[in-house]
Amino acid sequence: MEKTYIFGHKNPDTDSITSSLVMADFETKLGNTNVIACRLGNINKETEYVLNYLGIEAPEFIETVEDGSNVILVDHNSPKESIDNLDKVKILKVIDHHVIALNTSYQLFYRAEPVGCTETIMYKLYKENGFAIDKKIATLMVSAIISDTLLLKSPTTTDDDINAVKELSEIAEINPEVYGLEMLKAGTDLSSFNIDEILHLDAKKIDFKEVQSIVAQVNTADVSEVMNLKADLENRMNEIINEENLDLFMFLITDIVNSNSQVIALGKSALLVEKAYGVKLEDNTALLKGVVSRKKQVVPIMTENA
Amino acid sequence: MEKTYIFGHKNPDTDSITSSLVMADFETKLGNTNVIACRLGNINKETEYVLNYLGIEAPEFIETVEDGSNVILVDHNSPKESIDNLDKVKILKVIDHHVIALNTSYQLFYRAEPVGCTETIMYKLYKENGFAIDKKIATLMVSAIISDTLLLKSPTTTDDDINAVKELSEIAEINPEVYGLEMLKAGTDLSSFNIDEILHLDAKKIDFKEVQSIVAQVNTADVSEVMNLKADLENRMNEIINEENLDLFMFLITDIVNSNSQVIALGKSALLVEKAYGVKLEDNTALLKGVVSRKKQVVPIMTENA
């Protein structure tokens, strides 16, 4: 049987890494025994916590696969987030929870759902196929769902995610609140990163209508720790604004314990943040209560007010 | 609850029509009670046979839906084959067995599989959700699978299609060979069509490398009936070749009983058919043994030899 490479998106998060491991198990159970769980980038600290907790190895690092190879995509479908020669391989399956950004010239198995995490779909696939979920697989799944939904508090959370976490926590024998917070905290350890790296950990270029912007985000259990770096962060943000000719740079410091974000906003369109959220920027910063999701709570609101 | 419109592709075949009816039933079972099965075109004679057999009405004919409406796509995902304002509606779900040709800016439920028929996927969805399949639903499903796979003889047929037909035939209380052949025959009644209509019933423009071609196909249980029209067909084919500056016009008369195709080939590249299939055109025609699928048995072979 020909080898099948399974991988999530570049710059992988916990969902991409665990989904490749879980999908490899699932495919093996389906009878596809020559599968290999892979990753397209380094393991982040949150994912490292999960792998260490289970005492298991990370998926194999690959940069690309040979033309004509069989692949399965998890947690992504956009060619921009995948291997460079995606148009030259044979995609057997896609399991994903993002918008549809792929076009193919052949039929394939494609399963996407509007849920908070790929692992929630994997959980349903195991159920539908009557496959048992063991403790290791359950831990991988529940870790990713907690990660993507910030402990089920993100507005991306659905009933399916909540149900999955409930059952998977029992199989994994964890208290999701306790385990989840420890895991999320592990991911917020910024000690090894410099200012520029912190600003680029999770930064996206987004145009709010005419307002050319970058919205960067960092999760933390200790907002003050990051705010201590404010002067240095602002200096580098201003440099980036000049270099890239931006109208706005929003840096969200998201408090994973209390589900708020402290925003630092710079650039000539910074006041758009005041208008959008009904807040007053003081010394370039304000608290955005309840805001944790860039996709659901920043992009639409900023676009509407731009 | 807001209304959800369910429909298959334009110029609907039996799969598109039955899948909209079956998906409406499935959604109702899921608790989405405000759904309406629709169609984007006229019922063909094969589908008419199925609806008459069951004594049920066709889905509601619509040309379009209002911007912002909720829709579910079955048996297609390509915007070219759908309503014109597809980019202005909210696609909740896609159930399909074609290549991926859709891009979205939002998450949705997307289920595609490389099987012969959408109804084979619907069958699996009922199973996965533990929903009972009644006699009417089983008949709709099995009719579409027989239609798309030409009684499981087309090379597009998969094990999943075969398994579905086996179980569904029992629920539907039909002999698939007997019922299926009657249904397929009903679809091959060409008596109401003129020559030009016959050539355009299922015609696709395809370039085999540099060879600009049209490949038209018609299913029949009586090849000689169609071959009696050969002189008129050839006259009109030659006109189309001149009008559209084609190198090749292949007209496949596909024998659904014996799973062969009689081809009529005209144009300056007609000899390509001889090379591709190892046959000799006599009076512009030859028998292509075992050839029933344009997608799997014409496009790749003609392209390879062009």
Q: How far is the alpha carbon of A130 from chain B, nearest alpha carbon, in Å?
A: 9
Q: d(Cα B87, Cα B103) in Å, to the nearest integer?
A: 9
Those residues of chain A whose CB sits closer than 8 Å to some CB in chain B are 97-115, 128
Q: Are B238 and B264 in contact (CB under 8 A)?
A: no
Task: Please check whether residue A175 lies inside any domain of the structure.
Answer: yes
Give a yes or no: residue B190 inside a domain. no
For residue A98, list chain B residues with Cβ-Cβ distance below 8 A: 107
In a domain, A190, yes or no: no
Q: Cβ separation of B108 and A112 shorter than 8 Å?
A: yes
Specify the CATH number for the domain of residue A27: 3.90.1640.10
pLDDT for A273? 97
Comparing A114-123, A191-200, B155-164, the range with the smallest average pLDDT is A191-200
- Residue-by-residue DSSP string for A59-114: PEE-S---TT-EEEEES---GGGS-TTGGGSEEEEEEE-S------SS--EEEE-S
Residue A101 CA, distance from chain mean position: 17
- Is B96 a member of any domain? yes
Residue B295: predicted pLDDT: 84
Domain termination residue (choose one: B185, B214, B229): B185
Among partner residues A99, A102, A110, which is closest to B107 by beta-carbon distance? A99
Statement to judge: residues A137 and A220 lie in one domain: no
Which domain-ending residue is among A160, A185, A210? A185
Do B139 and B214 belong to one domain?
Answer: no
If asked whether residues A141 and A54 sit together in one domain, one would say yes
Cβ of B102 within 8 Å of Cβ of A100? The answer is: yes
pLDDT per residue over A256-297, tens digit each?
A: 889 999 999 999 999 999 999 999 999 999 999 999 999 889
A146 is written with which tokens? Answer: 């907690």
What pLDDT score does A136 carry? 98
pLDDT-based confidence at A205, cuts 50/70/90?
confident
Of B137, B153, B185, the last residue of a domain is B185
DSSP B80: G
Within-domain flag for B131: yes
> Which residue of B lies nearest to A77 if distances are taken between CA atoms?
B103
Does A103 sit within 8 Å of B101, measured CB to CB?
yes
Q: Which residues, including other chains, have CB under 8 Å from residue B170's CB and lie 6 or more apart?
A: none
Q: Among A123-127, A173-177, B125-129, B188-192, which stretch is predicted with the lowest mean pLDDT?
A: B188-192
Neighbours of A280 (CB within 10 A): 8
Are A109 and B107 in contact (CB < 8 Å)? no
In tens, the pLDDT along A28-62 reads 999 999 999 999 999 999 999 999 999 999 999 99
Chain A residues whose beta carbon lies within 8 Å of the beta carbon of residue B103: 99-101, 103
Q: Can you tell me the distance from the alpha carbon of A141 to that of A126, in angstroms, rounded to the nearest whole number?
A: 11
For B114, which of A101, A102, A108 is closest by C-beta distance?
A108
Chain B residues inside the 8 Å CB shell of A110: 100, 110-113
Q: Are residues B9 and B132 in the same domain?
A: yes
Q: What is the residue-wise DSSP string for A152-172?
A: TTSTT--HHHHHHHHHHHHHH
CA atoms within 13 A on the CB side of A80: 3
Task: State whether B164 and B287 are in the same domain.
Answer: no
Look at B112 and A107 and tell me if their CB atoms are within 8 Å.
Answer: yes
Angle at A215 between CA A213 and CA A219, to 5 degrees: 170
Q: Does residue A210 sit in the same domain as residue A106? A: no
Q: Which of helix, strand or coil describes residue A127? A: helix
In single-letter form, the type of residue at position B23 comes to: M
* Chain B: residues touching A (Cβ < 8 Å): 97-115, 128
- A204 pLDDT band (50/70/90 cuts)? confident
Is the same domain home to B137 and B242?
no
- Tokens coding A208: 């709010």
The number of folded domains in chain B is 2
Domain that holds residue B271: 195-305
- Rounded to whole angstroms, the Cα distance separating A113 from B71 reads 15
Do residue B99 and residue A111 have CB atoms under 8 angstroms apart? no
- Shared domain for B177 and B35, answered yes or no, is yes
A110–B112 C-beta distance less than 8 A: yes
**Residue A92, phi then psi, degrees to nearest 5:** -80, -40
**Residues of chain A found within 8 Å of residue B110, distances taken between Cβ atoms:** 100, 110-113
| Residues A141, A169 within the same domain | yes
Say if the Cβ atoms of B110 and A112 lie within 8 Å.
Answer: yes
Of A105, A108, A113, the CB nearest to B112: A108
Q: Are residues A149 and A227 in the same domain?
A: no
**Judgement on whether residues A110 and A233 belong to the same structural domain of the protein:** no
Quote ipTM for the complex: 0.85
| Residue B45 resides in a domain | yes
Residue-level pLDDT, tens digit, chain B, 306 residues: 799 999 999 989 999 999 999 999 999 999 999 999 999 999 999 999 999 999 999 999 999 999 999 999 999 999 989 999 999 999 999 999 999 999 998 999 999 999 999 999 999 999 999 999 999 999 999 999 999 999 999 999 999 999 999 999 999 999 999 999 999 999 888 888 999 999 998 888 888 999 999 999 999 989 999 999 999 999 999 999 999 999 999 999 999 889 999 999 999 999 999 999 999 999 999 999 999 999 889 999 999 999
**Do the domain assignments include residue A262?**
yes
Cα end-to-end distance, chain B, whole Å: 55
Q: Give the H/E segment covering residue B202.
A: none
For residue A100, the chain B residues in CB contact (below 8 A) are: 100, 102-104, 108, 110
β-pair partners for A61:
A39
Question: What amino acid occupies position B215?
Answer: V
d(CA B118, CA B15): 7
Residues B143 and B224 placed together within one structural domain of the fold: no
With contact defined as beta carbons under 8 Å apart, do A144 and A12 qualify?
no
Query: Residue B71 falls within a domain, yes or no?
Result: yes
Partners of residue A304 on adjacent β-strands = none
Using an 8 Å CB-CB cutoff, list chain B residues near A131. Answer: none
